[in-house]
Structure 1
Amino acid sequence: MNKIFINLIDRVNTIYTRTVWRDNESDDGFTDIGFVIKNILVHTSPTKIADHYNSNITKFDVGRLLQAFSYAEGSPDYCLVHLFTAQPFSNGVLGLGYIASPKLGTSGGICSEGTYIQNKLVYFNTALSSARSSYGGPVITREADIVTAHEFGHNWGSPHDPASLECSPVSSAGGPYIMFTYSVSGYDQNNKIFSPCSKRSIKRVLQAKSSICFTEIEHTFCGNQRVEPGEDCDVGLPKDGAGNDRCCSSDCKFKSNAVCSPLNSLCCSSSCQYLPAGEICRKSDLNSCKENSVCKYVHSFAMNGKSAECPTANATADGTPCLDEGECQNGECVSFCEKKNINMKPCICENETESCFRCCRSKISNECRPFIQKNFDKPKILKDGTRCIHGYCSNGTCIREVQDLIEHIWNIIDKWDINSFIKFIKNNMVGTVAILTLCIWIPVSIFVNSIDREASLDYEREISWIFSNNLVDSKKRVRIVEGLQHVDQKF
């Protein structure tokens, strides 16, 4: 489970470290700034506190969830704290985050100052994102990466991109950037990079705050649940119970008679020993186009440190159907348009009247048009909830979403009083989650959440393919909410 989040953060980190945050092309700007995981905390059961974000309540408002999460987990020990959850939010909302200000002494985003609420010092260096859309379907890998990068972008001080040719180009001109008001598919070349507008906004925040809480990268850190050079194992920080682990000590070494740690290796038993050869360590999933993975290493390989690792699964046969009418190719689920008998690229038609048709982009003309299999056939209508050009599809119509205002946490806090805060705490509702804490190298740290593994083993298998490196779902129209209460109802 932890590797799922680690891999996601690694991919987002690559986006950030490759970006030069500057005003223009002639400006040197800031570069090589990204994330390092500092701690991961996984909740395996509900927290027995009614007002806690991890309380056993199945439905909640996303704004109140982030408020409660900030109240419990916001911390000056990390530059950023992030919550991952598989709880779907209403109205297509997929995430929420506080925007950093270049003004010193303000709350919200990276390097946030604390704010006293009911005599408690609360830090709003927080954000959250969900692995599920409000329509119940999982978010595919490329969109999950962009959503996380988008939320981090707000935490770093970027608002949404303005509706200009420079920062919100159409698909034929490269498409919108990460901080586009609406969600992006990941199909267009600009979808995984930041716009000039975002770079300028974030540069101002970095100029003001990077020296406060950013640090040089540590190549190894015992306690981040990631086995690094010089470590036998890594099950977290001592404050999270690492010292009580059966297999791994608080200094990241195997305890007596232990040869592996099940937290770090799927082919390791709860008694800290290798699972027998042939044991299934990762079950097959047609949506990820992989067969069962089985433990292949035996005791004689113990000294090379690989015997507890779950090997890469064999790919399912090419042409096997997978999600959203796609097919398996070389172990990956490719989209409908990329099937071998079609050989086009997926896209969203820019014409609003065609936006809820299945659209593909020709590799020859580069045109994005509704796909028609045969002459006189009608284009296929996308299912309800699928993302379209300005919102989401409903009965074949693209429903426009009203553009929301982005509220900054430092303004909202001024409006709070004790009664409003008590009201939000009483109304807070949350599902079971897992927290992942990140340290950014120039540490931004992050708490990551997922559903109780003990409550549903099926969920763990499902979340594995949601965040795997494969295409695993259809193009859903989802929205991300930024800010404290009614911010950015757009992603």
Structure 2
Amino acid sequence: MKILKYSVPFLLFFHLILCKEKIELKNLLDYDIIEHPMPSRNVPQNIYFSALNRNFRVKLDPLPNTIRKTQINLIYNGEITKQHKFDLPEEIHGILENEFLSKVSILIGSNGEFYATIKTPQEIYLFEPLSYFPQYAGSRKVLAYRLSDVILPNMSISYDELPKFPHSVPVNSGETIERQKRSLITDKKFCGLHFIADYMFFSNVGDSDYAKTVDIIVKAFNRVNEIFMSTDFIDVDNGNVTQNGFGFYIKGISIETSPTPIPKEVYTAKALLSKFSRRNFSSACLHHFLTFTRNPFGVLGMSWIAGPSLYHLGGICSPANYVETREADGTSVFMAPNIGFTTYCDSEGSQVLSSVAELVTAHELGHSWGAPHDPDTTECTPSAEAGGRYLMYTYAVPGYSPNNYRFSPCSRRAIGRCLVSRAALCFEERPFDGLPLSQCGNSRVDPGEQCDPGFRRSSEDLCCTSTCQLKPGAKCSSLNHQCCTSTCQLAKKGTLCAEPDPEVSPCLSAGRCDGQSPICPGPLPISEVGRRCYEHGHCLNRVCAPFCSRLGLKTCICDKAEDSCLICCAFDIEMANGERRLMCQPIAALASFSLAGETTPLSNGSWNLFQLPFSTNILNTSAEKYYFVTRENVHLPRDYEIDLKLVNISELVIMHLGNNRPCAVGICRNGLCVESKTQNVGRLWPLFLSNGGWTILLWDNIVAVIVTLTWIVWIPLSCVVRLYDKKLRETQLKAAQANSKAAVFNPLEAELRGNHVPLLVDHQNN
């Protein structure tokens, strides 16, 4: 055994997720707002509700007997003021009736909030409280949407290189396990994950409510942990053995309850991660910050990436270490390399959807476990027809395809290598113990409470007492409900309480108080049905339905970069040879239709025009006619061919996706897919330890590489040095000869130098 010295500098992995699109409900192509499916806290055996034009009949399993607990730290002015053992909200599992391949996960928040994920072979349905969004605070309704209807913000993933850190100062990090036989087969499969919610997250996303903050964290944790737990990681060094069951447990949650001054220079994600890395934390496998920090580039996540070598810091099980700063004084600071962060704030200051934030968190934790981005190969970057891109794809995955929430084989191998070398250092079994945390003072109205102003404002509130009961004469508290006046009375009927942004929610009108309840009913649907809205969509059942739903199809992103910023729909079609094939192609429409978005004339490009394989008139708009187009010639039956004599090509257009939408290699700009400019990634291990294609090629031809480098570099360099030495010797020889001659013909100078040469004087006779 030997002491492990970390002398290799940190290399920061920059993960930029750029987003400039307004988020909130505009980032959903389709959604429903429904009543709470479980108004009672008692968990029934079955629940029934309707949303998104279908019925859900859920059969629930009994609640588990064990209760998960974790440590909650409340931090004020940088100091821990309170520590509690907190009962984590437990998930309820089940299936849909008569759908045995389905999976249902439900989480009931501390104030009865309803979170749910329903997975079927065809679709994933998500449910979360509408009060998650600030403009709907206090609402008891539930937002329902499909994962395929999520419009990701501009999430082109690009990289930047970190200026090299100085060598770290060696510290006693304990003995390593280098001499032990390593294998992916182990009983210790759980990484202790410490979440830190900074004040920006606590006050914005958490609504200054401890219980709500914990609920959101636990809900995100459950979604992310499910991805890791269900993955078979591969041990490539031991016969490609696969092992699943690796995941996380919540080791602790820290909540900052007071503002932390952020210097002006902390505007970039790099600087923000550096500041987070300098925090002093207790030991944990990983620390992950949750924040609501906005920056000019809209970066949603960043992390240090792990490597398989124990001599390189970053990611899981990396101990804190000293690194020298780049300032003139060259001081050393203590930094933690096992840190990443996710921000719930986009570049415009809006709150992102929870499903988007969970996707970012899963992606960042994948890097912390050692997964780089997927290479551009058929195995690890499949097409849309083959299941779509995987979670660690270089650019953002939109959530349309089943692979979007899975690790690719390349990621599974990379993570497997890191687990083999690192898991035994800090992974463990999940311990849960402790006591519950009192709820009064968390700024949320819990069962048994009439109001809750929060522990810091209880003495200032005119409506509520410190025991969370209404004061005499008060009917409500304006701190808890929007339809309550500053004098603690119900707002008048018709008082505006929810005003949706027309650009964000074009299919909703303002919500007003009913004069009977302090709870705002939320926005109401517009009266005009079928109004055109975002990206050529139309208003239907309160939401802006996507264009493809008009045809009874699902939205997809075309694989070809030049087509990926066009509106593409997925459909099943029969080829000329009788084979059925799933196609994802752009859709053409008549320019005379009242389209809501940018278009390009079909005549501007070289396109093949085909009839869609079914009737597209699902909205009883007989005048509308749509086609699908391809750039290459596709062999289809004659039924799909179009008689160009009957169609005026000049009247047809292809429709664009909105700017900043993710596309095949970057983001959309005016109908074109623009690739991110920087694509460099900093590794935490050298080239010879990586397993990329170039590395394999170099190792397979190592002798030729060495000989080539010798001829190209060493021999010419040796000749240059030899020539330089020769010229230097000649110059020195000439200088020596010149000095020798001067000594002979200048005896005075020679005498002054100590050479006693007799003076020859010519005496003249007088």
Q: TM-score, structure 2 length as denominator? A: 0.41
What is the match of residue 22 of structure 1? 232
What is the match of residue 358 of structure 1? 567
Whole-Å separation in 2 of the counterparts to 1:87 and 1:315: 31
CA apart distance, 1:176: 0.8
- Summarize the Cα distance change of 1:406–1:222 in structure 2 as closer, same or farther, 3 Å threshold: farther
SS of match in other structure, 1:80: strand
CA displacement, residues 228-248 of structure 1 (integer Å, 9 cap, x when unaligned): 998969999xxxxx7534279
More strand by share: 2
Q: Pick from 84, 93, 97: which aligns with 2:291?
A: 84
Q: Pick from 571, 586, 597: which aligns with 1:370?
A: 586
What is the match of residue 393 of structure 1? 668
Listed as ranges, the matches of 1:43-62 within 5 Å are: 47=261, 54-55=262-263, 60-62=267-269
* Amino-acid identity (%): 26
Whole-Å separation in 2 of the counterparts to 1:270 and 1:219: 37
Q: Which amino acid aligns with 2:681?
A: I
Q: Pick from 270, 291, 309: which aligns with 1:63?
A: 270
Whole-Å separation in 2 of the counterparts to 1:350 and 1:88: 31
Check the 8 A contact 2:658/2:668 in 1, yes or no: yes
- Summarize the Cα distance change of 1:82–1:293 in structure 2 as closer, same or farther, 3 Å threshold: farther
Whole-Å separation in 2 of the counterparts to 1:254 and 1:27: 58
What is the match of residue 655 of structure 2? 380
CA displacement, residues 369-404 of structure 1 (integer Å, 9 cap, x when unaligned): 122113521313445543321123345433333673
What is the match of residue 99 of structure 1? 305
SS of match in other structure, 1:198: helix
What is the match of residue 435 of structure 1? none
Q: Pick from 289, 310, 314: which aligns with 1:108?
A: 314
Check the 8 A contact 1:75/1:81 in 2, yes or no: no
CA apart distance, 1:142: 4.8
Whole-Å separation in 2 of the counterparts to 1:38 and 1:264: 25
Listed as ranges, the matches of 1:305-384 within 5 Å are: 314-316=524-526, 319-338=530-549, 340=550, 342-362=551-571, 366-374=582-590, 376=649, 377-384=652-659
Whole-Å separation in 2 of the counterparts to 1:209 and 1:337: 50
1:155 counterpart = 2:430: no
What is the match of residue 284 of structure 1? 500
Whole-Å separation in 2 of the counterparts to 1:7 and 1:182: 26
CA apart distance, 1:168: 1.9
- Summarize the Cα distance change of 1:97–1:409 in structure 2 as closer, same or farther, 3 Å threshold: same
Whole-Å separation in 1 of the counterparts to 2:411 and 2:310: 19
Whole-Å separation in 2 of the counterparts to 1:353 and 1:231: 59
Q: Which protein, 1 or 2, shows the higher relative CO under an 8 Å CA cutoff with sep ≥ 6?
A: 1
Whole-Å separation in 2 of the counterparts to 1:256 and 1:228: 11
Listed as ranges, the matches of 1:182-193 within 5 Å are: 182-193=395-406
SS of match in other structure, 2:582: coil
Check the 8 A contact 2:484/2:491 in 1, yes or no: no
Larger Rg: 2
SS of match in other structure, 1:116: strand
Whole-Å separation in 1 of the counterparts to 2:560 and 2:288: 39
Check the 8 A contact 2:268/2:295 in 1, yes or no: no
SS of match in other structure, 2:653: coil
Check the 8 A contact 1:233/1:264 in 2, yes or no: no
CA displacement, residues 291-344 of structure 1 (integer Å, 9 cap, x when unaligned): 55566797xxxxxxxx87665655555535544343344344433333x3x333
1:10 counterpart = 2:219: yes
- Summarize the Cα distance change of 1:297–1:39 in structure 2 as closer, same or farther, 3 Å threshold: farther
Check the 8 A contact 2:566/2:586 in 1, yes or no: yes
CA apart distance, 1:191: 1.1
Check the 8 A contact 2:233/2:412 in 1, yes or no: yes
CA apart distance, 1:352: 2.4
Whole-Å separation in 2 of the counterparts to 1:380 and 1:127: 39
CA apart distance, 1:113: 1.7
- Summarize the Cα distance change of 1:271–1:115 in structure 2 as closer, same or farther, 3 Å threshold: farther
Can you give the 5+ residue segments of structure 1 that lack an aligned partner in the other structure?
48-53, 237-241, 299-306, 412-491
- Summarize the Cα distance change of 1:138–1:195 in structure 2 as closer, same or farther, 3 Å threshold: same
Q: TM-score, structure 1 length as denominator? A: 0.60
Q: Which amino acid aligns with 1:62?
A: A
Whole-Å separation in 2 of the counterparts to 1:259 and 1:107: 54
Whole-Å separation in 1 of the counterparts to 2:530 and 2:433: 44
CA apart distance, 1:264: 9.3
- Summarize the Cα distance change of 1:127–1:268 in structure 2 as closer, same or farther, 3 Å threshold: farther
- Summarize the Cα distance change of 1:355–1:296 in structure 2 as closer, same or farther, 3 Å threshold: same
**18-27 vs 360-369, greater mean Cα deviation:** 18-27
Whole-Å separation in 2 of the counterparts to 1:109 and 1:325: 43
Whole-Å separation in 1 of the counterparts to 2:589 and 2:217: 36
Listed as ranges, the matches of 1:104-253 within 5 Å are: 107-117=313-323, 118-130=331-343, 142-202=355-415, 204-205=418-419, 207-208=423-424, 211=427, 215-216=431-432, 244-246=456-458
Q: Which amino acid aligns with 1:345?
A: K
Q: Which amino acid aligns with 2:269?
A: V
Whole-Å separation in 1 of the counterparts to 2:428 and 2:281: 17
Q: Which amino acid aligns with 2:382?
A: P
- Summarize the Cα distance change of 1:247–1:182 in structure 2 as closer, same or farther, 3 Å threshold: farther
Whole-Å separation in 2 of the counterparts to 1:202 and 1:105: 17
**215-224 vs 106-115, greater mean Cα deviation:** 215-224
What is the match of residue 406 of structure 1? 681
- Summarize the Cα distance change of 1:399–1:369 in structure 2 as closer, same or farther, 3 Å threshold: same
- Summarize the Cα distance change of 1:256–1:297 in structure 2 as closer, same or farther, 3 Å threshold: farther
SS of match in other structure, 1:190: helix
Aligned residues between the structures: 383
What is the match of residue 466 of structure 2? 255
Can you give the 5+ residue segments of structure 2 that lack an aligned partner in the other structure?
1-203, 208-212, 235-239, 324-330, 574-580, 591-646, 687-766
Q: Which amino acid aligns with 2:305?
A: I
**138-147 vs 219-228, greater mean Cα deviation:** 219-228
